[in-house]
Amino acid sequence: MQNAPESSLVGEEYEVEVGPVAHGGHCIARTEEGRVLFVRHTLPGEKIVARITEGEEDSRFLRADAVRIIEASKDRVEAPCPYSGPGNCGGCDWQHAKPGAQRRLKGEVIAEQLQRLAGLTPEEAGWDGTVVPAEGDKLPKGEVPAWRTRVQYAIDTEGRAGLRKHRSHDVQPIDHCMIAAPGVTELGIEKQDWSQMASVEAIAATGSNDRQVILTPRPGGRLPLVELDKPVSVLRVEERDGGVHRVHGRAFVRERADERTYRVGMGGFWQVHPQAADILVKAVMQGLMPRKGESALDLYCGVGLFAGAIAERIGEGGGVLGIESTKRAVEDARHNLQDLERVRIEHGKVEQVLPRTGITETDLIVLDPPRAGAGKQTVKHLAGLGARRIAYVACDPAALARDLAYFREGGYKPRTLRAFDLFPMTHHVECVAILEPAAKGV
């Protein structure tokens, strides 16, 4: 391990008063000298001792952990998870906050990002300022929603399963993850010796009893004989090409949403919270209000979740084009929607495939881009297609706000925005924005 540079401030401690929450699971504080600190494990309004974890004398800002609470917020609780806190697992950001406070903090982040990056107030975005929990996630004090249906375990040098520490490759071994869904916990990953593995991903489908583990061996590592506590299919990530290959059992899991079954192969993308797919489909369909015979685009369509939902509602006279960059997801989407002749799925990046389609107009658009957002050029293209409504599904409020600003340049404004707490205990939040042409109502 290299020694820290002489200018490093790592390990230095400052007594500070904590300011507002910031995007990323931390709060902002300033030292008496005016240094900006991004502090984890604290809450707005607290007085704390912050220990620097990253940064040097000339850094624009410093990262820190709250290692001692001098004056606690009324929203503070004792973290239910024994692996939460400074220097431990980095998976949860808000274990130390009451559930209602977590949602308020997420709402404050959304509002700040909308104002700073899009120049929008909540009212202008059509948002009531609330972040809505999933049904069943409101639990008695001290209990944590067990929602995470996909958990990526890192393996330490002794073969123990654990989770990464915050902004680190170091592994925190665990014997139980409190936010893991019961279907993941029942596999007993934490009890096994994974000595030759680099990581083990566990997947518990909510639309079926399908269970899957994806093993990534260390260089030269051999697969263990996998004997877990429940029947499970096993996949392997190949060292040579990074591809995922079936070892035994199904190469996919079956998920269910909007009264359809979706095949999700080789560890492909599906919403992690067990209720998320249904919640998001409902929000998108309520916002778009598809009509019989309409045409629609489903961009970054994954295994076809929104394309299937729209196609069911527009009837045989309409049509849906889905675009997805992951080859296996395209295969799954085509399989999942094969009974819907009005759906076509194209493989490739949205910014490359969409111009090639020759489509010059459409009635509806739904896009669920990766965390970085859709970007200026793609948004400009979409704004030129004359859609009467656009649904934007966002897992990152900063990317959403940036793209909303681009849509405004293209003549679209938010009609409604809804926020859902589909990642309890973390700083992540899911939003659905419905946009319409600014020049006219619908």
* Residue 113 burial (10 A CB sphere; 0-12, 13-18, 19+): buried
- The three-state secondary structure class of 433 is strand
Q: How many CA atoms lie within 13 A of 325 on its CB side?
A: 9
Phi, psi of 157 (to 5 degrees): -70, -15
d(CA 354, CA 299): 9
Q: What is the C-alpha to C-alpha distance for residues 356 and 349, in angstroms, rounded to an integer?
A: 11
Return phi, psi of residue 401, to 5°. -60, -45
Integer Cα distance of 372 and 135 in angstroms: 28
Three-state SS for 32?
A: coil
Which residues, 6 or more positions from 293, have their beta carbon under 8 angstroms from its beta carbon?
314, 315, 317, 318
Query: Does the annotation mark 395 as catalytic?
Result: yes
> Can you say how many angstroms the Cα of residue 161 is from the centroid of all Cα atoms in its chain?
22
Strand pairing class (131-133; 412-421): parallel
d(CA 304, CA 108): 32
DSSP state of 116: I
Helix (H) or strand (E) holding 364: strand 364-367
- Nearest C-alpha neighbor of 159 from the set 186, 187, 192, 184: 192
Q: How far apart are CA 166 and CA 159, in angstroms?
A: 20
For residue 315, give both structure tokens. Answer: 């009837």
Q: Cβ(102)–Cβ(389) under 8 Å? A: no
Helix, strand, coil % over all residues of the chain, rounded to 5:
20, 30, 50
What phi, psi does 435 have (nearest 5°)?
-115, 155
**Measured distance CA(149)–CA(210) in Å, rounded:** 11
Active site residue: 89, 92, 301, 395, which one? 395
For the annotated catalytic residues, the residue numbers are 395
